[in-house]
Amino acid sequence: MKYIVVCGDGMADYPLEDKGNKTVLELSDIPNIDLIAKEGAMGELKTVPNGFEAGSDVANLSILGYDPKKYYTGRGPLEAYSIGVELVEGDIAFRCNIITEENGIIKDYSSGHITTPESTELIKKVSESFDIGKFYPGVSYRHLFVYNGDNSFSCTPPHDVVGQKVSDNLIKGKNADILNKMMLDSKKILMAHPVNKKRISEGKNPGNMIWLWGQGKKVPMEPFSQKFGMKGGVISAVDLIKGIGYGAKMKVINVPGATGFIDTNYEGKADYAIKALEEIDFIYIHVEAPDEAGHSGNLEMKIKAIEDLDKRVVGRILNKVQSKGFDYNISIVADHPTPIKLRTHVSDPVPFAVYSEKIKKDKTSCYTEKEGKKGRFGLVNGSDFIELLKKQ
């Protein structure tokens, strides 16, 4: 059996009063995803355990079978896995965003989705300017900072505080001053950088400040193949998701042109997934675009991201998997809702739909939040998801 799990990051949403109380999924035209629900069965997945923040890290760990209560200390260590940084005793890995600050306000958590070549230059400059830890460049606005010291920090994700004052959202805790000073001092260094001068002249948001958050220590993960008795792989543009894959010793497949945004190489993700299934039995395809649209609060963009996911990933996979003659099990899930009216993640359960040739169908007819609640699987714990798939 070949298992295909497609995750639309942040795809689930809340009803929109000005759209007849429909959710984004209900407003989207997604015939391929709906077919999985109609010909298969549905349920709801609780991907964020009680007491945890609704982060993509927690939620995706959960879906891949690693209970966050045991395996999660922060997103930093997962991102360290993804770029091959070995953490040692006492290391704390932070996610380091390149953000846009303006007049003391956090203006943009992503610096206008700055390109990787641009942000790599900026991180290099920051790295040369401070010596209290180590910086490692990642993708777009997402980077890594490793600091050796005690972990008593409390940090704020910048996407949760867009429009708020920098000074109200700095790191709290013992020894936080040294890190806060570095964040604040980074502005002067980055503002003067040619990359930002050029971005400003082009009307783009400059990447003019670093922002540390998501810190944690390394937790060893049991390999996926031992845990589930099959070889697994991961396709994602996002370091964090790749990091979970590396941590779980899964095959991490890099797709050219995968950006983590609405311009990603959707077809490439589908094609690489099908190709990978010639060697492995489980593939997790993560698509970030709906989440980014949710954070922007942009309804049209979120609909487009979900419809692209439907046609250009799921539809293409369904065509190809059938022509390959694989015995397959395909499922669709979101990691958490990113409601466009809130522009941030929430921890509500998400709908999932599963199809396999032998699956016992239920009465659900399309992939929406409401139908998920009617599904025969009921409410399932995120980290039990793969075991559930194996029984279908």
Contacts with Zn ion by CB under 5 A lie at: 9-10, 56, 291, 335
- Cβ nearer to Zn ion, comparing 107 with 345: 345
Write down the least CB distance from residue 266 to Zn ion, Å.
Answer: 17
Closest residue by beta carbon to Zn ion = 56
DSSP 177: H
- Cβ nearer to Zn ion, comparing 9 with 362: 9
- Cβ nearer to Zn ion, comparing 108 with 335: 335
Write down the least CB distance from residue 338 to Zn ion, Å.
Answer: 7
- Cβ nearer to Zn ion, comparing 34 with 335: 335
Q: What is the DSSP string of 50-75?
A: TTS---HHHHHHHHTT--HHHH-S-H
Write down the least CB distance from residue 49 to Zn ion, Å.
Answer: 15
312/290 Cα distance (integer angstroms): 14
HSE-CB for 352 with a 13 A CA cutoff = 32
- Cβ nearer to Zn ion, comparing 91 with 288: 288
Write down the least CB distance from residue 269 to Zn ion, Å.
Answer: 16
Write down the least CB distance from residue 286 to Zn ion, Å.
Answer: 9
Query: If 0-12 CB within 10 Å is exposed, 13-18 middle and 19+ buried, where does residue 143 land?
Result: buried
- Cβ nearer to Zn ion, comparing 209 with 303: 303
Angle, helix 239-247 to helix 75-82, in steps of 10 degrees:
80
Angle, helix 56-63 to helix 75-82, in steps of 10 degrees:
70
Task: Return the bridge partners of 234, or none.
Answer: 252, 284
Write down the least CB distance from residue 59 to Zn ion, Å.
Answer: 6
Sheet of 379-381, strands arranged across: 251-253, 232-235, 282-287, 2-8, 328-333, 350-356, 41-46, 379-381
Write down the least CB distance from residue 240 to Zn ion, Å.
Answer: 9
Number of H helices, E strands in the chain: 16, 13
346/55 Cα distance (integer angstroms): 8
367/293 Cα distance (integer angstroms): 19
- Cβ nearer to Zn ion, comparing 10 with 216: 10
Q: Which of 38, 20, 19, 95 is nearest to 365 (CA)?
A: 38
